[in-house]
């Protein structure tokens, strides 16, 4: 017999069945890409997978990453793709034509204003993909990133460039 | 129409292959481990990206079928390239403790590679 | 024209694989060898895709996708093993 007062679940019906809407959409899209085509059957299987996998694994993802501004997130992706292409051409030029003695390699420490773990992950990934920089390590308290520059004549300028170009935009995307 | 497709596909294939070659050449030419890490993680992702775009265009122009699962591979590679680079540097910092002395120090504490979970600084010898 | 571009790509990618093999043998540190294997996997993916354009068949994409996944997982496993002395703790 059911107890007269079952413990009330704080979450609404939608929140319980779709704990991670972004993950659901992503899984459905990935299934459609794997099936390589848009068909009713494929879409149906994708939706079933997209609903069941987040539901089964919900206890592993207690927090939901929160994106504040989808338009700015899309603009950020376009900016990063553009920067990746520029980065590739610059690094290719350095590899092919620069005398190795003239390379100014250095380690720099980038202090972080971001606190959101997802935002820090995106920031570190962006740094690795863009011109001549690789993010190497996070400080133990999560307040600074260690970045290796392939060719930076002025390390201070490189740090402030990274902060204004990417971190300021990420601060608007993630709360 | 076929001409445009042919030029586009050929250009993408040539660009992709050239970037892959330059990245691997950088792996041979650059003098030190950390600088070598820059070459393949960048040049090769665009190399594969070019080949995948070429494949998509080829199937659209010449087979008349829309083939989009190439996007999945490039998406996957773009997601994983920073992660492998990060793992490799952390392993490198771990097996070469002498590098740690040349690193800039963050405010308060140390880099996570050098700190044990209970907050002690691991000796760098 | 596509034929010529494809043959150029075969040549360039094979040369790239030879460069990677050289780095794999020369080292000097073990991370250099891991990096060489990782780059080799990515070059092989490009080679498979170019081959599938040459053959005009989409059959090889699953192979390329599996290469990408195994390459990523094996690189991470090697690095994890170097850092922790164990892969699955």
Q: Does residue A158 contact residue A133 with C-beta atoms inside 8 Å?
A: yes
Chain B (1-40) residues lying within 8 Å, Cβ to Cβ, of chain C: 6-7, 9-11, 13-14, 16-18, 20-21, 23-25, 27-28, 33, 36-37, 40
**Residue B28 to residue C30, Cβ atoms within 8 A:** no
| Most confident of the following: A71-75, A145-149, C44-48 | C44-48
Chain A hits for B97, CB-CB cut-off 8 Å, are none
Q: Are A87 and A132 in contact (CB under 8 A)?
A: yes
Torsion sign across C-alpha atoms B49, A92, B22, B82: negative
A56/A79 same-domain check? no
pTM, two decimals, is 0.84
Parent domain of A18: 13-60
Secondary structure class of B35 (helix, strand, coil): helix
Q: Per-domain residue ranges for chain B? A: 2-96
A153 & A82 share domain: yes
Bond into C75 cis (ω within 30) = no
Residue length, chain A?
175
Judged by CB atoms closer than 8 Å, whether chains meet at B82 and A143 is answered as no
Report how far residue B6's alpha carbon sits from residue C79's, in angstroms, rounded to the nearest whole number.
42
Residue C17 predicted with pLDDT over 90 = yes
Q: Is C51 on the interface with B (CB under 8 A)?
A: no
In a domain, A163, yes or no: yes
Q: Which of A26, A87, A143, B36 is nearest to C29 (CA)?
A: B36
CA angle A123, A100, B45 (to 5 degrees): 40
* A104 lies in the same domain as A140: yes
Taking an 8 Å cut-off on Cβ atoms, the answer to whether C75 and B87 are in contact is yes
Vertex A132: Cα angle to A128 and A133 (nearest 5): 40
Shortest distance, CA C41 to any CA of chain B (angstroms)? 10
Interface confidence, given as ipTM, is: 0.86
| A151 and A77 co-located in one domain | yes
**What residue in B sits closest to C4 (Cα-Cα)?**
B10
CB contact under 8 A, C68 and B18: no
Q: Same domain for A54 and A76?
A: no
Which strands, in side-by-side order, build the sheet including A106-111? Answer: A106-111, A144-149, A133-138
Residue from C12, C54, C63, C69 to probe the interface with B (highest B Cβ count within 10 Å): C12
Q: Do C34 and B91 touch (CB under 8 A)?
A: yes
Mean per-residue pLDDT for A31-56?
A: 84
Per-residue pLDDT, B34: 82
Q: What is the mean pLDDT of chain A?
A: 80
**Other chains touching B, judged by 3 or more CB pairs under 8 Å:** A, C
- Decide if pLDDT at A175 tops 80: no
Q: How many domains does chain A have?
A: 2
Residues A77 and A34 in one domain: no
- Answer yes or no: is A145 within a domain: yes
Please indicate, yes or no, whether residues A103 and A163 belong to a single structural domain of this protein: yes
Alpha helices in A57-167 (DSSP H): 70-97, 117-129, 155-162
Cα C48 from Cα A165, distance rounded (Å): 36
Decide: residue A38, CB within 10 A, 0-12 exposed, 13-18 middle, 19+ buried.
exposed
Q: Are A75 and A36 members of one domain? A: no
Query: Quick check: A112 and A163 in contact, CB under 8 A?
Result: no
Each residue's pLDDT tens digit, B54-91: 888 888 888 777 777 888 888 888 888 888 888 888 88
Residue A25: its pLDDT value, please?
86
Domain boundary, last residue among A42, A60, A78: A60
Cβ of B38 within 8 Å of Cβ of A91? The answer is yes
C-alpha to C-alpha distance for A80 and A170, rounded to whole angstroms:
12
Domain residue extents for chain C: 2-84
Considering the domain boundaries, does residue A4 fall inside one?
A: no
Judging contacts by C-beta atoms under 8 Å, the chain B residues touching residue C20 are 24, 27
pLDDT band at B125 (very low <50, low <70, confident <90, very high): very low
| B108: chain A residues, CB-CB within 8 Å | 141, 143
């Amino acid at each position: 017999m059911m107890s007269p007062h079952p413990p009330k679940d704080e979450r609404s019906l939608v929140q319980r069945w779709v704990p991670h809407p972004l993950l659901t959409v992503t899984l459905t899209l990935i299934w459609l890409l794997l099936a390589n085509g848009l068909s009713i059957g494929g879409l149906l299987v994708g939706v079933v997978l997209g609903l069941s996998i987040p539901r089964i694994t919900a206890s592993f993802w207690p927090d939901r990453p929160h994106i504040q501004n989808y338009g700015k997130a899309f603009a950020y992706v376009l900016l990063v793709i553009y920067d990746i292409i520029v980065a590739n051409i610059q690094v290719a030029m350095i590899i092919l034509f620069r005398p190795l003695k003239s390379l100014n390699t250095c380690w720099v420490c980038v202090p972080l204003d971001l606190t959101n773990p997802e935002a820090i992950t995106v920031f570190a990934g962006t740094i690795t993909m863009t011109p001549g920089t690789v993010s190497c390590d996070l400080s133990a308290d999560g307040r600074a990133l260690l970045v290796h520059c392939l060719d930076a004549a002025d390390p201070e300028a490189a740090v402030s460039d990274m902060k204004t170009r990417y971190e300021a935009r990420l601060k608007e995307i993630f709360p | 129409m076929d001409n445009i497709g042919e030029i586009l596909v050929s250009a993408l294939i040539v660009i992709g292959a050239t970037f892959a070659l330059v990245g691997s050449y950088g792996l041979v030419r650059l003098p030190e481990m950390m600088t070598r890490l820059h070459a393949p993680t960048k040049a090769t992702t665009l190399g594969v990206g070019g080949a995948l775009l070429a494949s998509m265009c080829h199937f659209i122009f010449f087979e008349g079928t829309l083939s989009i699962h190439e996007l999945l591979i490039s998406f996957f590679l773009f997601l994983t390239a920073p992660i492998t680079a990060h793992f490799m540097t952390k392993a490198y910092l771990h097996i070469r403790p002498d590098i740690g002395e040349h690193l800039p120090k963050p405010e308060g504490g140390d880099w996570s590679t050098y700190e044990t979970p209970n907050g002690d600084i691991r000796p760098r010898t | 024209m596509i034929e010529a571009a494809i043959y150029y790509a075969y040549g360039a990618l094979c040369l790239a694989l030879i460069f990677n093999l050289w780095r794999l043998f020369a080292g000097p540190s073990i991370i250099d060898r891991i990096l060489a294997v990782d780059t080799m996997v990515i070059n092989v993916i490009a080679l498979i895709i170019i081959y599938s354009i040459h053959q005009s068949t989409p059959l090889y994409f699953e192979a390329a996708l599996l290469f990408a996944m195994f390459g990523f997982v094996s690189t991470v496993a090697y690095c994890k093993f170097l850092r922790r002395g164990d892969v699955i703790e």
